[in-house]
Amino acid sequence: MSDTLQPRDTFPNHSEKYMGEQFLIALNSLVQTIRIHQDNNQLVKDCVKKFTDSVHHLISDDDSLTIQVYGGRFYFQDEKLTLRKKSEQLFKNMLQYFEKRGLQEMCIYQSITNAASEQILTFARLLNQAEHEEKPLDWLIHRVEEEDLPWVIIEHPDEQDAPETDDSPVEQDKKELSVQERKDRGRKDYSYALASIKEMGQKLFTKKRSGIRKGVRIVQNMVEHLIQDESIYLTLSTIKVYDDYTYTHSVNVAILSMCLGKHIKLPKPAMERLGICGLFHDLGKIWLPPDILNKPGKLNDQEFKEIQMHSLNSARLIVRLRASRDRKAKILLAPFEHHLKYNLQGYPFVQWQKPISLFGRILAIADVYDALTSARVYRSEPLTPDQALAKMQEGSGTDFDPLLLKVFINMLGVYPLGTLLLLDNGIMGLVSGASESEELDRPRILLLEPDGQRGFVKGAEVDLRERHPQTGDFLRNVVQSVHPSAYGIQPAQYLLQE
Q: What is the pLDDT of residues 438-453, one digit of tens each?
A: 788 899 999 999 888 8
What is the pLDDT, as a whole number, of residue 157? 65
Provide φ and ψ at 428, rounded to 5°. Answer: -110, 155
What is the pLDDT, as a whole number, of residue 163? 36
What is the pLDDT, as a whole number, of residue 60? 59
Question: Beta strand 420-423 with 478-482: parallel, antiparallel or unpaired?
Answer: antiparallel
Q: Which residues of 206-225 are buried (b: 16+ CB within 10 A; e: fewer)?
A: eeeebbbbbbbbbbbbbbbb
DSSP 454: S
pLDDT higher than 60, residue 433: yes
Domain hosting residue 461, numbered range:
420-495
Structural domain ending residue among the three candidates 157, 187, 220: 157
- Distance set, CA 1 to CA 6, 114, 162 (Å): 13, 5, 35
Mean pLDDT, rounded, for 8-15: 42
Residues 351 and 472 in one domain: no
| Residue 175's pLDDT band (cuts 50, 70, 90) | low
Q: How far apart are CA 28 and CA 251, in angstroms?
A: 39
Q: Could you read off the pLDDT of 272-283 as tens digits, one per residue?
A: 999 999 999 999
Q: Could you read off the pLDDT of 348-367 as tens digits, one per residue?
A: 988 888 889 999 999 999 99
Q: How far apart are CA 283 and CA 317, in angstroms?
A: 7
What is the pLDDT, as a whole number, of residue 6? 37
Residue 2 lies in a domain: no
Give percent of the chain above pLDDT 70. Answer: 91
Mean pLDDT, rounded, for 404-425: 95
Residue 342 lies in a domain: yes
3-state secondary structure of 208: coil
pLDDT higher than 90, residue 490: yes
Structural domain ending residue among the three candidates 367, 390, 412: 412
CA-based nearest residue to 161, from 203, 217, 81, 89: 217
Contact 439, 433 (CB under 8 A): no
Which residues have CB under 8 Å from 205's CB, separation 6+? Answer: 286, 287
Q: In the chain, how many domains are there? A: 3
3-state secondary structure of 415: coil
Residue 297 lies in a domain: yes
Residues 490 and 383 in one domain: no
Contact 95, 72 (CB under 8 A): yes
Residue 276 lies in a domain: yes
CA-based nearest residue to 188, from 242, 228, 243, 225: 225
Contact 60, 8 (CB under 8 A): yes
pLDDT higher than 50, residue 166: no
SS3 track for 367-411: HHHHHHCCCECCECCCCCHHHHHHHHHCCECCCECHHHHHHHHHH
Mean pLDDT, rounded, for 397-426: 95
What is the pLDDT, as a whole number, of residue 150? 82
pLDDT higher than 70, residue 14: no
Contact 54, 136 (CB under 8 A): no
CA-based nearest residue to 51, from 125, 131, 112: 112
Mean pLDDT, rounded, for 171-188: 77
Residues 227 and 199 in one domain: yes
Residue 3 lies in a domain: no
pLDDT higher than 90, residue 230: yes
Q: How far apart are CA 58 and CA 107, in angstroms?
A: 12
Residue 60 lies in a domain: yes
Q: CA-CA-CA-CA torsion for 188, 192, 198, 204, nearest 10 degrees?
A: -170
Residues 455 and 345 in one domain: no
pLDDT higher than 80, residue 5: no
CA-based nearest residue to 276, from 205, 210, 359, 161: 359
Please classify residue 60 by burial: count the beta carbons closer than 10 Å to its beta carbon, then call 0-12 exposed, 13-18 middle and 19+ buried: middle
Residues 408 and 465 in one domain: no
Mean pLDDT, rounded, for 292-303: 85
What is the pLDDT, as a whole number, of residue 11? 40
| CATH for 300 | 1.10.3210.10
Mean pLDDT, rounded, for 362-382: 87
Residue 162 lies in a domain: no
Structural domain ending residue among the three candidates 363, 381, 412: 412
| Residue 210's pLDDT band (cuts 50, 70, 90) | confident
Contact 419, 432 (CB under 8 A): no
Q: How far apart are CA 175 and CA 425, in angstroms?
A: 43
| Residue 294's pLDDT band (cuts 50, 70, 90) | confident
Higher pLDDT, 414 or 209: 414
Residues 269 and 401 in one domain: yes
Please classify residue 248 by burial: count the beta carbons closer than 10 Å to its beta carbon, then call 0-12 exposed, 13-18 middle and 19+ buried: buried
Mean pLDDT across the chain: 86
Higher pLDDT, 303 or 255: 255
Residues 59 and 43 in one domain: yes
pLDDT higher than 90, residue 62: no
Residues 442 and 346 in one domain: no
Residues in the chain: 498
Q: Which residues of 258-281 are buried (b: 16+ CB within 10 A; e: fewer)?
A: bbbbbeeebeeebbbbbbbbbbbb
Higher pLDDT, 423 or 378: 423
pLDDT higher than 50, residue 2: no
Residues 447 and 362 in one domain: no
CA-based nearest residue to 279, from 159, 372, 196: 196
Residues 75 and 206 in one domain: no
Mean pLDDT, rounded, for 19-46: 91
Residues 336 and 247 in one domain: yes
Contact 477, 423 (CB under 8 A): yes
Instruction: State which amino acid sits at residue 20.
Output: G
Contact 367, 253 (CB under 8 A): yes
Q: Could you read off the pLDDT of 72-117 as tens digits, one per residue?
A: 888 887 677 877 888 889 999 999 999 999 998 888 877 888 889 9
Residues 117 and 177 in one domain: no
Higher pLDDT, 5 or 20: 20
Residue 88 lies in a domain: yes
Q: How far apart are CA 278 and CA 222, in angstroms?
A: 13
Q: Could you read off the pLDDT of 320-358 as tens digits, one per residue?
A: 887 777 788 899 999 999 999 999 999 998 888 888 999
